[in-house]
Amino acid sequence: MVATAAACTDNSTGSNGDDSRSIAVESSATTCKLSATSAPAGTLRFNVRNTGSDVTEFYLLAKNKTRIIGEIENVGPGITRNLVVRAATDTYFTRCVPGMKGDGITAKFTVTKTDGPQPVLANAALLDTAMVTYKKYVNDQVEALTPATRRFAAAVIARDDDAARAQYASARMHWEAIEPVAESFGDLDPRLDLREADLEKGQEWTGWHRLEKDLWPPAPEANDGKTYVPLTDAERKDLADRLVDDTVELEQRVKALVLSPDQLGNGAKELLDEVATGKVTGEEEIWSHTDLWDFQANVEGAREAFTALTPVLKVTKPALIPTLDERFAKVQALLDSHKVGDGWKYYDELDKDQIKALADAVNALGEPLSELTAATVS
Amino acid sequence: MGADISRRALLGTAAGAAALGATPAVLAAATGSADGSGGEVSAYGGGSPSSGSGAAGSGVVAFEGRHQAGIVTPAQDRLHFASFDLLTDSRGRVVDLLRRWTDAAREMTAGRPVGASGALDGPADAPPEDTGEALDLDPSRLTITFGFGAGLWNRDGRDRYGMGAPPSKLIDLPHFPGDKLDPALTGGDLCVQACANDPQVAVHAVRNLARIAMGTAGVRWSQLGFGRTSSTSTSQATPRNLFGFKDGTANIKAEEREALDRHVWVRPGDGDPAMVDGTYMVTRRINMHIEIWDRTSLGEQENLVGRQKGSGSPLSGGDEFTPLNLSMKGFGGAPIIPVDSHVRAAHPDLNGGARLLRRGYNFTDGSDGLGRLDAGLFFIAFIRDPAEQYVPMQTRMATTDRMSVEYLQHTGSGLFAVPPGADGPRDFVGRRFFD
């Protein structure tokens, strides 16, 4: 164990060397010691070390002692975590809450004037508006998902396979557009959206992809060498009914959900992750090859989150707006080039260069999109 | 030829005495494994383990011993792993191959070339016996570890070599959720794990063993690894994987004798006499979705792993080696080590006390044609009973560990029986299966 201390000397934290804006905080069971009680305006870094034996939290509060400018939670005993926060010239309060109980230990903290430009802070009212805007979009999608799923299920049960195939991808778009929210219910997600490759041994397979396989039955060579056995009428009805029931439950639960500001930016990032790992590779819709429908829906959902956050970004990080606008447009132009009627080309109709171009556009968008959360909420 | 001599000269006599950088600490390490655990007789280095090169050093690790080397041997920096398909129906040719492999491994791990005439001493009109790229290089702590896949006992329902029943713990691994195994990167009848501190020494070993096997066994797949992702000795600092996190903090270490006996070495009561003092090796080629990982916030990365990125401390506090407190509550009453974190899913308390000896390596095999690195972790674990120790743990990780579900994809797999070490200069690895 002699070596552990030395292990991170070379490539450690990469400090920016701005000591006056770097404040050490020691949070014990009874004290909250800061290395400085003031700092120049700008990006401040509080290095919060927990010297107590309970979990602690640290807050930077506005001068009304109520509004949270920044917080770092879950600092375990012996652990150091950083709170990085932009602060303009004003009076603030710092607060440690050892044991995460009680009023904590609060002290005044002053941010002094500097010559440089003043940092601009996210406005709570703007963030609230963004959340309302985005939640309405989420609600609209989940409301549209239920009837579309009912129509699909009815076609499945009636064995009108052409109609079912036609409705499969377009119905799923309402799911894919809000996937990070929809997936947040750990019990519903596997029931609705599990892929065959994701099954645990002995686990029952239900949901969209089970029916997908029955509508696009694979040849034995695409099915582990086994002849695919079609579902019986009774099995189809059971699976279709459960798909509808689970979707109705999903709608109720999504509508009751209260989003937090970071869920917009993180959700947008996760939607692009979904595109990058599942859709660009054709792994999501392995039987129907309707991956570009999902792709379009994921991108739309991410763009909605970005659009909702744009008024916030105008204040906090306006430079990000044209970058994201341009890269969303690039992805959309590529998707549009594969449009066929109301839908898109099937994944297996795309050639290698076309897939590579889509992958590059997704990476180009995903990278700046991952800045969205920090740019809007911290 | 001069180069060859310089290698020998450096090493001293053929007895393989610890010649390089032998310090009292090194000698203590040698004494500590005198019973053959890992066959450590040599320097692990004039350099301190904190120099960043892991089991730094250029010396010799003994090939013979009660256990094969390359298991509890402090993990070297580089890996070349190869899996082979047997191409023959002749039991005699398989035995001959294992003898020749053992002899070649004995020479190469000692820093000597393969064959009586080596790379330079043969006739001018014949190709050299040894391929020569390890001339002038140190032994670099090369270890060569052999394993046997189920195909040695049974291929397509046929016992090609009259072997009888395979070792009872050599199971078929099930499909785990999320697996996307490439048959061209999976399985194999025989395997070779070559580890060294110099990548060229490891590649030289596999290349020459593959050459020796021509006609009897052919390479099915192989894997290069460039950075060890586990420490197998308390003398080593914990290295980082390609997610940037320390990996293998809770690994079984060579110094933990009781844990090795309980979790790694096959024992006389286990029902497989030929495997006693051997072990089983699970290999998994685990691709990391590193591009989307890199877009994940630091706080989220730490929650996915359950440890701090810098120090490796569990989120429940302390330093890297502080035990996890799985019940400690954080914000909102939720466990401070999240329920879907990697360290929780892998923790022995949730896996019937099971622990692994991990010896994996980072890999990058170019890119995947979609502008992404084909990169990840080549996972290697040595365990006494795969069905008990590995299958439940991997099932749990593939379902409840969000890092595994969202950021990892298993693309290759292997399970091999690793027989005990060669017992003296006339023995060959795996002999007990053919007696």
pLDDT at B15 (0 to 100): 36
Per-residue confidence band for B55, with pLDDT thresholds at 50, 70 and 90 = low
Type of residue found at A342 = D
Q: What is the mean pLDDT of residues A350-360?
A: 95
CA distance B38 to B64: 9
What would the pLDDT profile of A84-120 be if each residue is shown by its tens digit?
888 889 999 999 999 998 999 999 999 999 877 776 6
Burial of B48 (0-12, 13-18, 19+ CB in 10 A): middle
- Asked if the Cβ–Cβ distance from B235 to A74 is below 8 Å, we say no
CB-CB contact of B54 with B77 (8 Å): yes
Cβ contacts of A79 on chain B, cutoff 8 Å: 308, 311, 313, 315, 317-318
CB-CB contact of B315 with B300 (8 Å): no
Question: What pairs with residue B375 in β-bridges?
Answer: B364
- Asked if the Cβ–Cβ distance from B297 to A373 is below 8 Å, we say yes
Q: Which two tokens stand for residue B386?
A: 């795969």
- Asked if the Cβ–Cβ distance from A76 to B175 is below 8 Å, we say no
CA distance A93 to A66: 9
- E strands, A252-376, are 339-340, 343-344
Q: Closest Cα to residue A211, out of A266, A157, A144?
A: A157
- Cβ neighbours for A335, distance < 8 A, ≥ 6 positions apart: A292, A295, A296, A299, A344, A358
- Asked if the Cβ–Cβ distance from A76 to B289 is below 8 Å, we say no
Q: Which of residues 5-24 of B touch A (CB under 8 A)?
A: none
Beta strand A90-96 with B190-196 is unpaired
Q: What is the mean pLDDT of residues B420-424?
A: 95
How many CB pairs (< 8 A) connect A and B? 130
Quote ipTM for the complex: 0.86
Type of residue found at A364 = A
Per-residue confidence band for B103, with pLDDT thresholds at 50, 70 and 90 = very high
A193–chain B nearest CA distance, Å: 13
Q: Which of residues 389-408 of B touch A (CB under 8 A)?
A: 395, 398-399, 406
Q: Which of residues 338-377 of B touch A (CB under 8 A)?
A: 369-372
Q: What is the mean pLDDT of residues A158-173?
A: 97
Q: What is the mean pLDDT of residues B334-344?
A: 96
Examine the pLDDT at B186 and tell me if it is beyond 90.
yes
Cβ contacts of B314 on chain A, cutoff 8 Å: 76
CA distance A134 to A351: 35
Question: What pairs with residue B329 in β-bridges?
Answer: B335
Per-residue confidence band for B57, with pLDDT thresholds at 50, 70 and 90 = confident
Q: What is the mean pLDDT of residues B294-307?
A: 96
- Asked if the Cβ–Cβ distance from B236 to A3 is below 8 Å, we say yes
Given the structure tokens 């990000």, which residue do they identify? Answer: A320
Per-residue confidence band for B260, with pLDDT thresholds at 50, 70 and 90 = very high
Q: Closest Cα to residue B388, out of B250, B232, B272, B264?
A: B264
B22–chain A nearest CA distance, Å: 19
What is the maximum alpha-carbon separation in chain A?
75
End-to-end Cα separation, chain B, in angstroms: 39
Examine the pLDDT at B3 and tell me if it is beyond 70.
no
Q: Closest Cα to residue B56, out of B31, B79, B74?
A: B74
What would the pLDDT profile of B214-235 be if each residue is shown by its tens digit?
999 999 999 999 988 888 888 8
pLDDT at B43 (0 to 100): 31
DSSP letter at B329?
B
Q: How far is CA B413 from its chain centroid?
A: 13
Per-residue confidence band for A122, with pLDDT thresholds at 50, 70 and 90 = low
Q: Please provide the average confidence, as pLDDT, over all residues in chain A.
A: 91
Q: What is the DSSP string of B156-211?
A: TTB-TT---SPPTT-PPPPPPTT----GGGB--SEEEEEEESSHHHHHHHHHHHHH
3-state DSSP assignment of residue A312: helix
CA distance B106 to B424: 10
What would the pLDDT profile of A226-285 be if each residue is shown by its tens digit?
999 999 999 999 999 999 999 999 999 999 998 888 889 999 999 999 999 999 999 999
pLDDT at B84 (0 to 100): 98
Examine the pLDDT at A12 and tell me if it is beyond 50.
no
Type of residue found at A48 = V
Q: What is the mean pLDDT of residues A193-214?
A: 93
What would the pLDDT profile of B376-399 be if each residue is shown by its tens digit?
999 999 999 999 999 999 999 999
> Residues A119, A123, A127, A133: is their CA dihedral positive or negative?
negative
In chain A, the residue whose alpha carbon lies closest to the alpha carbon of B407 is A277
Cβ contacts of B45 on chain A, cutoff 8 Å: none
User: Taking the model in full, what pTM does it have?
Assistant: 0.87
What is the enclosing helix (H) or strand (E) of A299? helix A291-316
Cβ contacts of B317 on chain A, cutoff 8 Å: 50, 55, 76-79
pLDDT at A18 (0 to 100): 63
Per-residue confidence band for A210, with pLDDT thresholds at 50, 70 and 90 = very high
